[in-house]
Amino acid sequence: MLRLPQFELIEPSSLYGALAALAEHGPDAMVLAGGTDLLPNMKHGLFEPRMLVSLAGIEELRGVQVTSEGGLSIGAMTPLADVADHPEVRRRAPALAQAAGLVAGPQLRSMGTLGGNVMLDTRCQWYNQTHFWRQALGFCLKKDGTVCHVVAGGKRCVAAASNDSVPALTTLGASLRFERLGQARTIAIDELWHSDGANNKRTEGGEILTRIEIPATPAGHLGAYGKLRDRGSIDFPLLGMAVRLDLDDQGLVEHADQVVVALVARPVRIKGVHEALLGLRPGSADFEQALVPLAEAARRQCRPMANIPGDEDWRREMVAVFTRRTFLAAAEGASD
Amino acid sequence: MRVIRFVLNGDPVETAAPAHWTLLELLRYGLKLTGSKQGCDKGDCGACTVLVGGKPILACLSLAARAEGQEITTIEGLMPLHKSRGGSGADPVQEAFDACGALQCGFCQPGMMLSTRALLNQHPQPSREQIQAALSGNLCRCTGYTQILQAVETAIAQSTGAPAPQPAWARDRELQGQEPQS
């Protein structure tokens, strides 16, 4: 049995109420979205906030809207199941719909939110464990200890960014709106990350991620998300990969992108993807031929570590397999 | 302590729980409804699945306060709710799980049956793939999945009047050229 430590629960019904509560209680308070990451982490003794500010009752943070420019504006508290099933998300941002639909299992997708997935804590097999388990090993860099069990002598935490939604949002050029009492800022999702697994996000105290904004995708936009995991459900990614292909009116690639997660503390954009696929026709022999060196280049650029379950050499080999597989899955959208 | 009012298995409930209690703890230790199982207690296994507003969620990762104003169904409510809609006996899902022997230790069953009930309320005639997807958040560590899928398909057959699917063991015997035993 895993019990939650004691805390006080604040349940504002407006964003203003939540921001005011965070401003009042400072570092004593943490934000609770769907609870599917924070609550198990609290049960493991990884966080012991004196207060939780629940966003569950704030209607203005829910829902998917199509903007006047044809982009998407998604409230941070929109459940992942709703993102996965939303017809406009599926049409305009297929990689995001696929990724949201591959997070965990059905119950957790109804509970977990898109904003919560973006703000997910990094994961490591030496960290996401009970206090008893971690204590037996003398704790680790990320929590309560001074050594890293992944990298001998390591001084920087290498826990893995494991957010399924982030590769898709990054290829889509999403931006994130953060609000604190009396202030708001919008940053590109690329700018959120540090490469320190102990705290891999550039956020400030008292902030809440309120919206995820996705610019309009062109008519020839294709996307796909590939997820490596032991089972077909429930698991966090052992490797997560989003690809993007934008086709011109001739059906030729005019923009290509690929972002990988569950390697190191931050998402990794593969270099040279655009140049490798530019001007090719998805489904053609040339396109498939170009994926062979691209898969090898992606494999060379990705260095999975022994931070999450799954042999790291196997995960590295699977980068090449998933590069080919995910681009082919995206290309299939061209024939629809 | 926080006062919590909600509808549990069709009946209004007014109770109270400390802020750090989960919905599962409220159900099991506050309201003494031990049908919702405490398995992994961290969102892996699905044994604590309950329906909130008809949707399956995990009670072990929901705060008790989340119940406020909601309609919650636990395994204890399946039969009374079935009867309140004019049915007789247990919910057809429960009958089918019993008839198909869709359990070994039984620990996953409440969650399995609630995920099944939620699926059938939404899609009365789901495909095998839809059934597998709907149950993919519920683990059976006895790995009795074949009988569980058969039980769901039997419950569907009963509701539509179609003949029940043949048990997996009978198909195996046919493949081996033996007559299935009645």
Report whether pLDDT(B174) > 80: no
Q: What is the pLDDT of residue A196?
A: 95
Q: Measured between beta carbons, which residues in chain A are less than 8 angstroms from residue B25? A: 3
> For chain B, what is the mean pLDDT?
93
Judged by CB atoms closer than 8 Å, whether chains meet at B57 and A107 is answered as yes
Residues of B in contact with A13 (CB under 8 A): none
Q: Which chain A residues are Cβ-neighbours of B43 within 8 angstroms? A: 36, 39-40, 104, 108
**A2, B65: Cβ pair inside 8 Å?**
no
* Residues in chain B within 8 Å Cβ distance of A11: 65
Task: Using CB atoms within 10 Å of the CB of residue B172, give its burial: 0 to 12 exposed, 13 to 18 middle, 19+ buried.
Answer: exposed
For chain B, the first-to-last Cα distance in angstroms comes to: 57
Per-residue pLDDT of chain A (336 residues; tens, 9 = 90+): 899 999 999 999 999 999 999 999 999 999 999 999 999 999 999 999 999 999 999 999 999 999 999 999 999 999 999 999 999 999 999 999 999 999 999 999 999 999 999 999 999 999 999 999 999 999 999 999 999 999 999 999 999 999 999 999 999 999 999 999 999 999 999 999 999 999 999 998 899 999 999 999 999 999 999 999 999 999 999 999 999 999 999 999 999 999 999 999 999 999 999 999 999 999 999 999 999 999 999 999 999 999 999 999 999 999 999 999 999 999 998 765
Place of tokens 């039997």: B154
pLDDT interval class at B160 (50, 70, 90): confident
B127 vs chain A: nearest CA distance in angstroms?
17
| Domains of chain B listed by start with CATH number | 2-76 (3.10.20.30), 88-170 (1.10.150.120)
What is the reported pLDDT for A173? Answer: 98
Domains in chain A, ordered, with CATH?
A: 1-57 (3.30.43.10), 59-119+160-214 (3.30.465.10), 221-335 (3.30.390.50)
Tokens of A170: 């990054």
CA distance A38 to chain B (A): 9
Residue A106: list chain B partners with CB under 8 A.
56, 115, 133-134, 136-137
Query: Nearest by CB to A108, which of B58, B133, B139?
Result: B58
Q: Could you say which of A11, A106, A108 has the minimum Cβ distance to residue B43? A: A108
Structure confidence at residue A74 (pLDDT)? 98
B28, B52, B63, B70, best to mutate vs chain A, most A CBs in 10 Å: B63
CB pairs under 8 A between A and B: 80
Nearest residue in chain B measured CA to CA from A107: B57
**Among the ranges given (A298-312, B44-58, B89-103, B151-165), the one the predictor scored with the smallest mean pLDDT:** B151-165
Residues of A in contact with B21 (CB under 8 A): 4
Q: Which of B46, B61, B115 sits opposite A35 (nearest CB)?
A: B61
Q: What percent of chain B has pLDDT over 90?
A: 84
| Rounded distance between C-alpha atoms, residue A302 and residue A240, angstroms | 12
Contact A101, A162 (CB under 8 A): no
Q: Which of A41, A102, A107, A113 to mutate to test the interface with B (most CBs of B within 10 A)?
A: A107
What is the distance, to the nearest Å, from the Cα of residue A228 to the centroid of all Cα atoms in its chain?
14
Q: Please report the DSSP string for A19-81 in residue order.
A: HHHHHHHGGGEEEESS-TTHHHHHHTTS---SEEEE-TT-GGG--EEE-TTS-EEEETT-BHH
Q: Which residue of B62, B63, B115 is in closest CB contact with A9?
A: B63
Pair B37, A10: CB distance under 8 Å: no
Give residue A335's pLDDT.
Answer: 60
Is A8 in contact with B19 (Cβ distance < 8 A)?
yes
The span from the CA of A305 to the CA of A313, in Å, is: 9
Residues of A with CB under 8 A from a CB of B: 1-9, 11, 32, 35-36, 39-40, 43-44, 52, 54, 56, 104-108, 110-111, 232-234
* pLDDT level of residue B93 (50, 70, 90 thresholds): very high
**Residues of chain B with C-beta less than 8 angstroms from the C-beta of A232:** 136
CA angle A22, A23, A27 (to 5 degrees): 65
Confidence check on the interface: ipTM exceeds 0.90, yes or no: yes
pLDDT given at position B182: 53
CA distance A281 to chain B (A): 33
Distance from the Cα of B27 to chain A's closest Cα (Å) equals 15
pLDDT, tens digit, 9 for 90 and up, residues B103-157: 899 999 999 999 999 999 999 999 999 999 999 999 999 988 999 999 999 999 9
